[in-house]
């Protein structure tokens, strides 16, 4: 059978879809858009386009780090490279498919939220924000997945320039982001994990500390969630809304909430060893303390916004405790160990249970401490 080179693009799309795209991932992205629409229509907060652009940059970097870890740093990528497809075509199609996934998971929810809650949103601004999001998605994927360090730094630098331009004027930022994305996509030659991407954790590190030090994906997700939590809480407080939702955002840290599911061999060793409950207790305490520290900026904003220091601390403690308890229970008794790709764990619907538990606990405290 003769392989026609003209079919490289279509063949690459079919191969990428078969390897990385599942019905669950599509449904998960659609559910995020539905949640964004629900929140925009019910919480009543108004966001400015500057906040939308900043949120897109932070969220895209975090999600792109997950794609780099669960797609391009896996054995499946090596299998794809063995296909009779030109490598340059496969690489560009991979970036485009990853951009489509980021569009479904990040750009669409953020743009829908902005369109329904922004201050007098215009069709021009919304379209420019969408274009900015897709351009930034391409830059984020290349910045975190390119093998060549120059390609990484070039894309990251372009994103760092596009962000302030977009904040100052969304149209100019969108034009720059799209142009920079086109240049980066045309010049990229290799995708893969750079040597610095997976660092060895120091001996004796705790489970969570070791994961943050050894995994760029976990670190990027953590920083992104903390920044988004603070920005969201400041935005709501500035409009007179006092809500613990910002605290719950930081507990949606799936790489940490699914630690043992992502490392089934570690789970098997811990369960076979004596005093396994001690390990899981340390895991629970570590997650609880980590979420309390991550949600502290949101707690400070709430305290200064009129909630009061004691109420804010109580809400933060309840949120961190409940979210950590949900994560501990899932990883201790029902870990997801039968998966073919790590992305299946990170995209599992149960990822929403810890933030839901944290939000419910913090809301109960807020209602119990509010004046009658």
* pLDDT score of 367 more than 60: yes
For range 139-163, the mean pLDDT: 89
* pLDDT score of 347 more than 60: yes
Do 183 and 41 have their domain in common?
yes
Domain annotation covers residue 249: yes
Do 191 and 213 have their domain in common?
no
**Do residues 202 and 183 lie in contact, with contact meaning Cβ atoms separated by under 8 Å?**
no
Cα 197 to Cα 180: distance, rounded to the nearest angstrom:
23
Domain annotation covers residue 253: yes
Do 266 and 335 have their domain in common?
yes
Domain annotation covers residue 84: yes
Do 45 and 180 have their domain in common?
yes
Cα 176 to Cα 318: distance, rounded to the nearest angstrom:
44
Structure tokens at 207: 């489970």
For range 141-164, the mean pLDDT: 89
For range 114-126, the mean pLDDT: 77
Do 206 and 193 have their domain in common?
no
Do 49 and 124 have their domain in common?
yes
Domain annotation covers residue 288: yes
Q: Of 198, 216, 250, which residue is a domain's last?
A: 198
Do 127 and 262 have their domain in common?
no
Domain annotation covers residue 158: yes
* pLDDT score of 41 more than 70: yes
- pLDDT for the residue 160: 92
**Do residues 146 and 155 lie in contact, with contact meaning Cβ atoms separated by under 8 Å?**
yes
Q: How confident is the model at residue 9 (pLDDT cuts 50, 70, 90)?
A: low
* pLDDT score of 342 more than 80: no
Do 194 and 216 have their domain in common?
no
Radius of gyration in angstroms for the set of CA atoms belonging to the chain, rounded to a whole number:
21
**Least reliable range by pLDDT among 86-95, 172-181, 292-301:** 86-95
Produce one character per residue of 312-344: b if its CB has 16 or more CB atoms within 10 Å, e if not: bbbbbbbbbbbbbbbbbebbbeebbeeeebbbb
Domain annotation covers residue 2: no
Q: Mark out the alpha helices in the chain (DSSP H runs).
A: 8-20, 23-42, 49-67, 75-81, 87-102, 108-117, 123-145, 149-168, 170-187, 207-214, 216-238, 245-249, 254-257, 259-262, 264-272, 276-294, 296-302, 309-333, 342-346, 353-369
Do 34 and 57 have their domain in common?
yes
Do 165 and 227 have their domain in common?
no
The count of structural domains within the chain is 2
| 81-95, 160-174, 208-222: range with highest mean pLDDT | 160-174
* pLDDT score of 4 more than 70: no
Q: Of 141, 174, 198, which residue is a domain's last?
A: 198
Structure tokens at 58: 């932070």
**Least reliable range by pLDDT among 4-13, 195-204, 240-249:** 195-204
Helix (H, G, I), strand (E, B) or coil at 198: strand
- pLDDT for the residue 18: 63
Return the percentage of the chain with pLDDT > 90, whole number.
Answer: 22
Containing structural domain, residue 307: 201-372
* pLDDT score of 2 more than 50: no
Domain annotation covers residue 1: no
What is the DSSP secondary-structure string of 38-61? HHHHHS---B-HHHHHHHHHHHHH
- pLDDT for the residue 326: 94
- pLDDT for the residue 204: 36
The model's pLDDT over 70-107, given as tens digits with 9 standing for 90+, comes to 777 666 676 777 767 777 777 888 888 889 888 988 89
The model's pLDDT over 257-290, given as tens digits with 9 standing for 90+, comes to 988 988 888 888 888 888 888 889 989 999 999 9
Domain annotation covers residue 188: yes
* Angle, helices 87-102/49-67, rounded to nearest 10 degrees: 130
Work out the widest C-alpha separation in the chain, in whole angstroms.
Answer: 77
Cα 31 to Cα 287: distance, rounded to the nearest angstrom:
26
Cα 299 to Cα 312: distance, rounded to the nearest angstrom:
5
pTM: 0.75
Q: How confident is the model at residue 219 (pLDDT cuts 50, 70, 90)?
A: confident
Tallying the residues shown for the chain, one arrives at: 372
Q: Of 172, 198, 224, which residue is a domain's last?
A: 198
Cα 242 to Cα 229: distance, rounded to the nearest angstrom:
13
- pLDDT for the residue 194: 46
- pLDDT for the residue 349: 81
**Do residues 167 and 53 lie in contact, with contact meaning Cβ atoms separated by under 8 Å?**
yes
Any idea what the Cα angle at residue 49 is, between residues 46 and 50, rounded to 5°?
Answer: 110
Output DSSP code: residue 200: P
Which position has the token pair 């924000």? 129
């Amino acid at each position: 059978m003769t392989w026609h080179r003209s079919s490289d693009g279509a063949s690459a799309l079919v191969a990428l879809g078969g390897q990385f795209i599942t019905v669950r991932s599509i449904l998960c992205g659609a559910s995020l858009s539905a949640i964004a629409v629900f929140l925009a229509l019910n919480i009543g907060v108004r966001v400015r386009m500057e906040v939308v652009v900043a949120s897109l940059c932070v969220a895209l970097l975090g999600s792109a780090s997950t794609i780099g870890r669960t797609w391009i740093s896996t054995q499946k990528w090596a299998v794809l490279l063995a296909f009779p497809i030109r490598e340059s075509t496969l690489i560009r199609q991979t970036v485009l498919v990853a951009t489509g996934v980021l569009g479904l998971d990040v750009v669409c929810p953020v743009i829908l939220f902005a369109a329904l809650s922004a201050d007098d949103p215009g069709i021009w601004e919304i379209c420019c924000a969408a274009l900015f999001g897709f351009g930034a998605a391409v830059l984020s994927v290349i910045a975190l997945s390119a093998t060549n360090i120059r390609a990484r730094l070039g894309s990251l630098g372009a994103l760092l320039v596009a962000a302030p331009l977009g904040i100052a004027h969304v149209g100019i930022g969108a034009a720059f982001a799209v142009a920079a994305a086109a240049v980066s996509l045309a010049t990229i030659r290799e995708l893969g994990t750079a040597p610095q991407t997976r660092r060895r954790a120091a001996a004796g590190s705790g489970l969570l500390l070791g994961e943050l030090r050894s995994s760029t994906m976990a670190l990027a997700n953590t920083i992104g969630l903390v920044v988004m939590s603070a920005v969201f809480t400041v935005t709501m407080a500035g409009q007179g809304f006092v809500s613990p939702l910002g605290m719950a955002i930081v507990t949606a840290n799936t790489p940490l909430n699914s630690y043992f599911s992502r490392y089934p061999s570690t789970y098997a060793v811990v369960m076979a060893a004596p005093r396994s409950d001690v390990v899981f207790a340390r895991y629970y305490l570590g997650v609880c303390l980590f979420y309390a520290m991550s949600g502290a900026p949101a707690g400070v904003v709430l305290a200064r916004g009129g909630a009061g220091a004691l109420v804010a601390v109580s809400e933060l403690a309840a949120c961190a405790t409940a979210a950590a308890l949900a994560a501990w229970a899932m990883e201790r008794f029902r870990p997801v160990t039968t998966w073919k790709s790590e992305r299946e764990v990170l995209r599992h619907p149960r990822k929403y249970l810890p933030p839901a538990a944290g939000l419910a606990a913090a809301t109960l405290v807020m209602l119990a401490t509010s004046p009658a």
